[in-house]
Amino acid sequence: MKFKLLILSLLTFTTLRAELFWENIFQNYKAGINEPKVDFVYKFKNIGKTNITITKVQPSCDCTFAKISKTTYKPNESGEISVSFDMSARTGLQKKEIRVESTDTKNPVITLVFEVDIPQPFKIVPRLIFWTLGEKISSKKSVITIDKSYDVKFELQEASFHHFFIRLNEIKKDEIYELEVKATDTSHADSISVEIPILIDDKPSKPATIYIEIKDPKQSSSSP
Amino acid sequence: MEIKKIIFQSSLLFCIALVLSLVHYKIDPHRPLLTRTPLLKEEIDLKEALLLNPLWVDSRSDNDYFHGHIPHALPLNEDHWEEQLPIIFNAWNGTQNIVVYCSSQSCHTSKVIADQMRSAGFLNVYVLHGGWESWKLNGR
């Protein structure tokens, strides 16, 4: 008799399952230049026969904020998770996730995903230029590639610093520039950051920063 | 006859328990890995990383970093890239190996940050296989 009860309770457990139906777990957005943030809404419905509790909503980074108005949902009740993504310091294609844990017996963990394409009107490779102490005096280069959909202008031709000289050369009109950096003396450690003022579609944009340094190879960060 | 019944019922209960535990293992997001995952390109395991005496870079969120990190590791994540990049560049001596880590084997952030660091101009950038979890699992 006890054995039959055990089997019966197991059967009951499997038929009284709790389940959430999500409308759209993947969403995407194409952002404009200097757009600070974007919001997404993930809607769901409890299609099971028992209450479901959302136990955890965990975004994959500090840049994403997720909010749920309440945690427990009755059968047939709908709800939503509001998500806000801070785009301010980012460029390029951004893929972020929100991990949702619940008492859903079929899918106790669901990963909500969104992709945001943030425009990158230009790219500088590399942004860090360095020499080591005593290295032969030479020129090093960064390549600046412009996305043709934008009108990008750099308000810099050349500049001199204590141990460095920099010059911007246009390689292919409105598409590729070369930033030539020359160390004029590598006998002393030195570091500077150079901000290049930029106009995008005739509006001032955040300047591009290049870091230039003469490094001492003997300097070492401590080991654990 | 009674013994046969007991053996049958015990075996059935054992099978049910086995099936339930296998189902639980399958759906448990925190299940331990049964096999060691192979090293990917540019990945390095903890033992090798320690031999390099590297500059450690923590690519997890600032919140995770402040709750615990590898000693002397510096934070560098996409949220604060512009502020943290010059600090890392300044701390790096130009020849030292760099090892980037995130939370665990399943996280992807360390690979993204390592790629961005290479593109920015850093050399000898590796990713720690198993991340922060492997550091803790090794009793560090």
- pLDDT-derived band at B37 (thresholds 50, 70, 90) equals low
B47 interfacial to chain A (CB closer than 8 Å)? no
Helix axes B109-120, B81-91, angle to 10 degrees: 70
In a domain, B37, yes or no: no
Residue B78's pLDDT is: 86
State which residue of chain A sits closest to B84, comparing Cα positions.
A89
Instruction: Check whether residue B126 and residue B100 sit in a common domain.
Output: yes
Residue A22's pLDDT is: 95
Instruction: Check whether residue B101 and residue B61 sit in a common domain.
Output: yes
Among B53, B89, B119, the residue with its CB nearest the CB of A125 is B119
Residue B29's pLDDT is: 52
Structure tokens at B14: 């054992």
Print the domain residue range for B122.
43-137
B124 interfacial to chain A (CB closer than 8 Å)? no
Question: What's the pTM value of the predicted model, to 2 decimals?
Answer: 0.73
CB contact under 8 A, B82 and A209: yes
Interface test with A, best of B28, B81, B89 (most A CBs within 10 A): B89
CB contact under 8 A, B85 and A211: yes
Instruction: Check whether residue B84 and residue B50 sit in a common domain.
Output: yes
CATH fold of the domain at A18-118 = Immunoglobulin-like (2.60.40)
The CATH number given to whatever domain includes residue B71 is 3.40.250.10
Q: Per-block average pLDDT, block size 10, for chain A (224 residues)?
A: 56 64 95 90 95 93 90 96 90 90 92 94 94 94 93 88 93 93 93 92 89 88 50
Number of domains in chain B: 2
In a domain, B128, yes or no: yes
Residue B28's pLDDT is: 62
Residue A224's pLDDT is: 46
Structure tokens at A110: 């669901």
Q: What is the DSSP string of B83-122?
A: HHHHHHHHH--SSS-EEEE-SSTT--HHHHHHHHHHHHT-
A110: distance to nearest CA of chain B, Å? 10
Q: What would the pLDDT profile of B38-94 be if each residue is shown by its tens digit?
A: 666 789 999 999 999 999 999 998 889 999 999 999 999 988 899 999 999 999 999
Instruction: Identify the CATH number of the domain defined by range A122-215.
Output: 2.60.40.10
Instruction: Check whether residue B112 and residue B83 sit in a common domain.
Output: yes
In a domain, B115, yes or no: yes
Q: Is the ipTM of this complex over 0.85?
A: no
In a domain, B36, yes or no: no
Residue A206's pLDDT is: 84
A5 interfacial to chain B (CB closer than 8 Å)? no
Which residues in chain A are closer than 8 Å to B29, comparing Cβ atoms? Answer: 101, 108-109
In a domain, B65, yes or no: yes
A39 class by beta-carbon count within 10 Å (0-12 exposed, 13-18 middle, 19+ buried): exposed
Residues of chain A with CATH 2.60.40.10: 18-118, 122-215
Instruction: Check whether residue B21 and residue B50 sit in a common domain.
Output: no
Instruction: Check whether residue B88 and residue B124 sit in a common domain.
Output: yes
CB contact under 8 A, A213 and B90: yes
Residue A92's pLDDT is: 85
Instruction: Check whether residue B85 and residue B56 sit in a common domain.
Output: yes
In a domain, B19, yes or no: yes
CB contact under 8 A, B81 and A219: no
Structure tokens at A29: 């957005």
Q: What would the pLDDT profile of B6-36 be if each residue is shown by its tens digit?
A: 888 888 888 888 888 887 766 665 555 555 5
Distance from C-alpha of B111 to C-alpha of B8, rounded to nearest angstrom: 52
Instruction: Check whether residue B25 and residue B55 sit in a common domain.
Output: no
Residue B10's pLDDT is: 87
- The more confidently predicted of residues A177 and B2 is A177
Residue A220's pLDDT is: 64
